[in-house]
A and B are shown apart, each in its own frame.
Chain A
Amino acid sequence: MRRTDRRTVPASTYTVQGGRQDCTCVTIRMLQSPTNTTLPTSSNFPASHKVNSDHHHNDMQAYWREVRSIEEEKEGQEEEDEEERHSMDEVEMEEAWLKEAGLFFLVSGITSSEASLPLPEAVISTLTHQQAAIVRTRLDNYNETLRKRNRQPLRDVRDIFAESEDKSAELCPSSSPHSADFPPGRYHITTKTIRRSAHRARPHFVFEDQLTDHPSCSSLKAPQANTNPSSPVLSSPPPACHWRQVDWLLQDTPYSEGVAEHRHSSTCWDCQSFQGDLRGKLQFVPVIPSNGLTCVDDLSPRDLTRLGFISHIELTTFLLALGVQTKRTRPSRTKAQDGAVFGVTLKSLLESDKKKFPGTKIPIVFQKLLSILEQSGLQMEGILRVPASVARLKYLRKELDRNPEVFDWSAVRQVDAAGLLKLFIRELPTPLLTYTHLPTFSSVMGISSELHQVQALQLLTLLLPEVHRETLKALLVFLRKVVSHQDQNRMSLWNVSMVMAPNLFPQCNHGKRHSPAKQREEIEVAVGGAQLIQLMIQYQDLLWTVPNFLLTQVRQLNQASDQKQLSLSRTRMYLLKKKKNQNDGNRITKLCEGVIQVHAPQHTKVSMAIQLEEQTTAKDVTARFEGQNSPPQRLYEVGGNICERRLHPDCPLMEVYKVNPCCDWLIKPGHVSPSTSGELNSHL
């Protein structure tokens, strides 16, 4: 009721339009002046759009048109966002940070009984020097702010970091944030973990002259084998080409390690390859073979939680190393909505959907809208851009909210579906990219190199809650399909990005007049947001890929926390031992070097021992379990230093065996239902 009332209040249309036109003017002005430093550099701009400023003009018009239609749609609504999302106070901020890093125990003093949460000591022992330095500063800040308020900090930094004061001062980024001479070892504490190559040279990058000519597995391994850190990678200039392999995914080096030079000089290898002589459009080429790579949904929830902790610390380290500031805002209170679809969190939508369809990962309404658009909208000219009638949208929204069960989907046209889709995204009480991470997404816009932007986006998507990540994934897949039909629908990558940006990066107070500074900021957000969406659509496959170094750190974390827990409780140790004794797979693996035992509890052939050779892949193993008409099977790595990971069919098993010699090998159907994975987790 309240909502409809608001709509009927005559809005100050003049202000809205005036404000928009102002913005458009500024856009043109700014895009035309190349000297203006507040705008992203031209090299960041998609090549096809910097031919002349007319293009920009048109492009930005599309953005502001979308903004205006959003404004029109919610005309009369109170602007409550501003007051709600004021910045957090420092204690809260630091507390939230430590919590997301899996170190909540440090600030709460409560030991979590949940086994899924690792001990903070274990988390910290897993970190690199730079990452640990960040945690240290954060904890310092936290304690400092607590002291200011005359509250006793629960833990002193020195309890956590055992190093001597002077040594750690040297590591502390506040004194010498990113000096060229790094401390000798990457990891600040030596633990007896699986670190096999602690000293690795700066990432080497393989450049390919042609997309078709993918390097073989050996050519990828070759630079890794050259671990001599002194060998100057920069000695020979990179061959000028526009294809860039995404081999950084395979490196063991955290992103934050490579970018220290980035800040100080222009010698950052990664950026050079972009801003050097190649001004054309750069494309990332997937690494072939995609062997050892892990997708987000290959991992068990427990591993993902831990991955999130490390990714969170790494992202902060990475952004600081790049010199990008992140402003945090307080998560907004969720507005209570009486509808059944719009304004309901993704989480609760999914929960109710799961009652009917247990395997669902994305709210059904969202899937439905996408499928209507995919069936009939891909060829439509201006899809997503052409607005639906406001009155009609209002009606459809009301109908859907009333009862989605009986809603007549056949009456929904493509334009309506596009409108409803965007409305749905905007009305989410927690935005698709979440309040927690939206500020970080914004700060990614400030990164000067596209490569580092993609890397940061990758770390960020790992932090999103599962339903948000899955929904975003579905959306990006759809947007890519729209772009692939641009011959018919005339929606280029840039067009789609611009139309979607205001929906994904909500801006408040568009209609109001602002100071020029504020307007400039808005334009920056507009261009930056559209560019981010563009990157996300273009390189979406990368976003769901877990970089190898993160997985390695998760393995170390698991191992470290297992050891800690072992020393903690004798009973637990006894239980673990007992479990291990029951495990025949481990016994055989221990008995014979290079032999693994693969279990397939759902098959007639329940287990198989196999002698691993260098070329043995997961596919080779599953092939020996599949019948003529059985569904495709997947091989899983279970236990050891990981909870559960589904292996890519081309994954060389020897690599897995080397990093996780104690794991079990399980054969299961390709898609695990949530219940079975839960059982497995509890079993472990």
Chain B
Amino acid sequence: MPEQSNDYRVVVFGAGGVGKSSLVLRFVKGTFRDTYIPTVEDTYRQVISCDKSVCTLQITDTTGSHQFPAMQRLSISKGHAFILVYSITSKQSLEELKPIYQQVLAIKGNVEAIPIMLVGNKSDETQREVETKDGEAQANQWKCAFMETSAKTNHNVTELFQELLNLDKKRNMSLNIDGKRSGKQSRAERLKGKCSVM
């Protein structure tokens, strides 16, 4: 399938079992499952508004294992924005993000303009290993944004994606296509969007 040029691609990285797929599924489908099925690579599509027109948000959920380094490189080079997920119940999972961050840095060169979000997932869990301030400190060091989420309780999930889109200063993106605007207006805008595509 040829890629569409107006796709905005978000790639989710993180160690195995931190809840990457759960976050994505909660966001895309609004569901949560307790079972664990290891992912190789899944891509989801969501329609969002971008610069007053409609575009596709493509979310790529990657593997937590290190089996496919070539695939990882490919997704980094294709991605526009990145979500780095660790589990607050595992210090190790935060450690494992470091080589991934380094790789993003190596492939993208300058990460200043690239939206990156560090996410501490499983915030509903009580057996915490990583304190919120540790996560914040790491984010500061990497000059990226930070947020704690729970896919299970649906805490901060939509906010995470909206915030990530806000980080992109080159585009004006929103998860809501119609939302607050009146139907008439949005229809006109959608038409305008179509024209610009053509």
Please give the residue numbers on chain A whose beta carbons come within 8 Å of chain B beta carbons, in ascending order.
582-585, 587-588, 591-592, 595, 597, 599, 601, 603-611, 664
Q: Which residue of B lies closest to A582 (CB)?
A: B2
A582–B3 touching, CB < 8 Å: yes
A608–B42 touching, CB < 8 Å: yes
CA distance A599 to B2 in the complex (A): 11
Q: How far is the CB of A291 from chain B (nearest CB, A)?
A: 23
B45–A611 touching, CB < 8 Å: no
- Map CB proximity to A onto B1-30 as digits: 1 under 8 Å, 0 otherwise: 111000000000000000000000000110
A584–B42 touching, CB < 8 Å: no
Q: Which residue of B lies closest to A596 (CB)?
A: B40
A609–B71 touching, CB < 8 Å: yes
Q: Which residue of A lies closest to B47 (CB)?
A: A604
CA distance A588 to B42 in the complex (A): 13
CA distance A371 to B43 in the complex (A): 45
| A585 in complex: contacting residue of B1, B29, B70, CB < 8 Å | B1
Contacts of B41 in A (CB 8 A): 588, 597, 607-609
CA distance A604 to B59 in the complex (A): 10
A604–B1 touching, CB < 8 Å: no
Is B172 interfacial (CB 8 A cutoff)?
Answer: no
A611–B29 touching, CB < 8 Å: no
B1–A607 touching, CB < 8 Å: yes
A606–B58 touching, CB < 8 Å: yes
Contacts of A582 in B (CB 8 A): 2-3
The number of residues on chain B lying at the interface, defined by a beta carbon within 8 Å of a beta carbon of chain A, is 18
Q: Which residue of A lies closest to B58 (CB)?
A: A606
B residues 135-170 in Cβ contact with A at 8 Å: none
Is B46 interfacial (CB 8 A cutoff)?
Answer: yes
B68–A604 touching, CB < 8 Å: no
Tally of contacts, chain A with chain B, CB under 8 A: 57
Is B44 interfacial (CB 8 A cutoff)?
Answer: yes
Please give the residue numbers on chain B whose beta carbons come within 8 Å of chain A beta carbons, in ascending order.
1-3, 28-29, 40-46, 58, 67-68, 70-71, 74
Contacts of A599 in B (CB 8 A): 1
A609–B40 touching, CB < 8 Å: yes
CA distance A611 to B29 in the complex (A): 24
Q: How far is the CB of B3 from chain A (nearest CB, A)?
A: 7
B68–A591 touching, CB < 8 Å: yes
Contacts of B74 in A (CB 8 A): 587-588, 591
Contacts of B42 in A (CB 8 A): 605, 607-609
Q: Which residue of B lies closest to A625 (CB)?
A: B42
A604–B71 touching, CB < 8 Å: no
With A582-B3, A592-B71, A609-B71 known, 10 other A-B pairs at CB within 8 A are A584-B3, A588-B71, A591-B70, A601-B1, A603-B45, A605-B43, A605-B45, A606-B43, A608-B42, A609-B41
Contacts of A603 in B (CB 8 A): 45
Q: How far is the CB of A280 from chain B (nearest CB, A)?
A: 51
A592–B1 touching, CB < 8 Å: no
Q: How far is the CB of B102 from chain A (nearest CB, A)?
A: 20
CA distance A607 to B71 in the complex (A): 14
A611–B43 touching, CB < 8 Å: no
CA distance A214 to B58 in the complex (A): 46
CA distance A608 to B63 in the complex (A): 11
Contact (A606, B44) CB under 8 Å given A587-B74, A591-B68, A599-B1: yes
Contacts of A605 in B (CB 8 A): 28, 42-45
| B28 in complex: contacting residue of A591, A604, A607, A664, CB < 8 Å | A604
Q: How far is the CB of A637 from chain B (nearest CB, A)?
A: 15
